[in-house]
Every structure is written in C-alpha cells, then in structure tokens.
Amino acid sequence: MRLISINSLQPGMRLGKKIYNEDGVILLSENAELTEVIIQRLRSHGLNFVYVADSRTDDVVLTEMIEDETRRRALNEIRTQFRKMTGPAVKGLVYPYLGKTFSGLVESIMDDLSSREDAMIMMMNINSIDHYLYRHSLNVCIYTILLGQVHGYSKNELTLLGLGALLHDIGKTKLPLELLTKPDRLTDAEYEQVKKHAEIGFKMLKDEPGIPLISAHCAYQHHERLNGSGYPRGIKGDEISEFARWIAITDSYDAMTTHRVYRQAMLPHQALEVLYTGCGSLYEKSKLEVFRDRVAIYPLGVTVKLSTGEKGVVVKIDGIFPQRPVVRILTDPLGADLKAPYDLDLSRHLSIVITEVDGMNGIG
Ligand SMILES: [Fe+2]
C-alpha cells in the first residue's frame, strides 16, 4: 500500500487500510473503492493522507505504535470523559473519576509501547476521523510516554508524565466550541482567549484527588518555552517542569502534523525542521535529540525522490537508522516505470539521499 495526500486521490483507487469514524466505528473498510463523493467526504472530515492499495507495495506491513484495540478504547474513554466536562467552569465541581480512569489508560499504552522495543513515533493522524482535541490528547500521550521510556523514567514517573500529557489540553473543554473549531485564523482577542486553556486546565486538575500535582502542572506549563517567550506566565528554563518540557515538543509536533482547516498538515520531516529552529531557545536540545532519534520522519508508504532521480516508496523503517529507510524503487531517473521494482536500503547506500517527499510538493 502507499500513503498519498488527499489531493492526489483519484476515483477508482482502493483503500489500503480501514478508516474509522469519530465513534471508533469502521466508516470504510479495507479495499473499499473510492468515489468522488467519498473523497469529498474524507476531505471535509479533515483527513489529509490516506493509504491506498498498490500491487507494487502490497507487502508493506504497517506497524502502529499501539494496538488498534487500545487506541479505540482510549478514544472512547477520552470522548466520554471530556464530553462530561465540556461547558462553562463550575466552581467546586470535581471529577473524581478522572485520575482512576486515565491512569488505567496510561498503563495500557505503556504496556503496548514497552512490548515493542523499536517503537517509533509514527504519524498517527491517518485513517481515523476524530474530534481534534481527543485525538491530539491521545497522540501527545503516546508520543510522550515513548520518549519517557527512552529517557529511562520509572513506571511511576511514566504514569505521572502520561497523565499530564493526556490531560495537557483539558482546559479547552471549557472554551466555546466555535472558538476551537473556527475555520479561519484567530483574531488577537480570540487567541488571548484560547491561551487561557492552560490556566483553566491547571485549575481543573490541581485539586483533583486522583491527579498528582506534577501532572496538573503539565496543563499549566506546556506552552511555556525555555527562553521565557511562552505563556501563561513566561517562566524560563528550569522553572518549567521537566515533564512540561517534553510535552512542549510532542504537543507542537502533533499540532504541526495535523491538518487544520486554515493550514495543511506538515509531513514529519518538515515539522522536525520547524522544531529545530527553536532548538535551545524554545525546546531543550537534549530532549529534542531523543525525539529526533525516535521519530519516523518518512512515514511508511510515502513516495520519495532520491538524489539519483529515481522515485520510490518507503517500505521499511528500522529503529537503528530511522532516517535512512528501505525504498522500493518504482521509476528510473527519467520517470519511466520500472518493470521490476527493487528495494534499496538507504542505510547501506549512504551517498544517496532523499531529496523530496510527496504530499506537500506534489511529486509521485
Ligand atoms: Fe495547549
């Protein structure tokens, strides 16, 4: 199968992987034939990349970061709990179920991730149509736990970190929906209102008996930046909790690799470049390096162009050289389709580099 941008979809293509709707129900099954109407519908739901079947790359095995079942269960739980909290803040209202429910969820994610030693951060915003806040909360949780495991935190620390990551944007449940789903760029006044979610989230969590204070601080501090340019308080360096400094990276990355109505999603390598422009000033260098080594910058199935001029599809990524995947070469340097595609392992051909990635610049 191949990963292609929604703009390159053509009627008649067949899906390479099933697509779930917002309630975790299968919307389109594997191999479903795409029509103009279906393509429009996927676009209106905000999907930006889709796996399609391709006989030349049918053997590509997709490895997800966590089990499908864990993901479905997690999204259900997040949806149910977050919906209960949606609406204006009520003084004195507590959410005693939060800590217990979500600690269990964080542990399931930890179990899935620790059973895969070579787990990589993969673009997760594919083939599932979810409310942005729910999906984003789950993705940030998964990415952050993976980084925390690589860093070597204990199980207890990982649970606290995972809870903080899962609930970092919980304050957004108290903002008006039209503000969160506004299709255009926000005005300055609206942006100021959105920024309040950090403090609102902290207030919601800090007195919850099941939520440790260190996790509540992730909600408060995930938009703070090393040089003091963040919000809400503009605190700097070590004043920002270590957990919040991890979440600053995973939160920014997931936001950039997700399609919003007002801007296209970036591909992982582009988002990584943007993060690196803030290396040492916005984000901590050592943490960014852990992230860089664990992010699959070329998603499986993506079309790439090589410095030789040949084009192909990424068919394998390993944990040792994630930046140098195995590419199935499909065309010669002049663009003619090869009769016999073959696999080129870039980790063994260090002089060849990937020069373009399909999706943003229209190759493929
Ligand atoms: Fe946030």
pTM above 0.85, yes or no: yes
CA 305 to centroid of ligand 1, rounded, Å:
35
In the chain, where the domains are located:
1-53, 68-294, 300-364
What is the predicted pLDDT for the residue at 363?
Answer: 37
Q: What is the pLDDT along the chain (364 residues), one digit of tens a residue?
A: 888 888 889 999 999 888 877 777 788 888 899 999 999 988 887 777 888 998 888 888 777 788 888 988 898 899 888 988 887 666 666 777 788 889 999 999 999 999 887 788 877 666 666 678 898 999 999 999 999 999 999 999 999 999 999 999 999 999 988 888 787 888 999 999 999 999 999 999 998 888 999 999 999 999 999 999 999 999 999 999 999 999 999 999 999 988 766 667 788 888 999 999 999 999 999 999 999 999 888 888 888 999 999 999 999 887 778 789 999 999 999 999 999 999 999 999 999 999 888 754 433 3
| CA distances, 275 to each of 161, 228, 261, 279, 289 (Å) | 21, 16, 22, 7, 11
CA 12 to centroid of ligand 1, rounded, Å:
40
Residues in CB range of 352: below 8 A, 6 or more apart? 306, 307, 308, 344, 346
On whether the 300-364 domain is CATH 2.30.30, my answer is yes
CATH number, domain 68-294, options 1.10.4160.10, 2.40.50.140, 1.10.3210.10, 3.30.230.70: 1.10.3210.10
CA 225 to centroid of ligand 1, rounded, Å:
12
CA 196 to centroid of ligand 1, rounded, Å:
9
CA 126 to centroid of ligand 1, rounded, Å:
21
What is the predicted pLDDT for the residue at 85?
Answer: 83
| Domains 68-294 and 300-364 belong to one CATH topology | no
CA 255 to centroid of ligand 1, rounded, Å:
10
What is the predicted pLDDT for the residue at 45?
Answer: 77
What is the predicted pLDDT for the residue at 359?
Answer: 57
Q: Report, at the CATH architecture level, how domain 1-53 is classified.
A: Alpha-Beta Complex (3.90)
State the Rg of the chain over Cα: 21
Give the Cα separation of 167 and 251 in Å (integer). Answer: 12
CA 139 to centroid of ligand 1, rounded, Å:
13
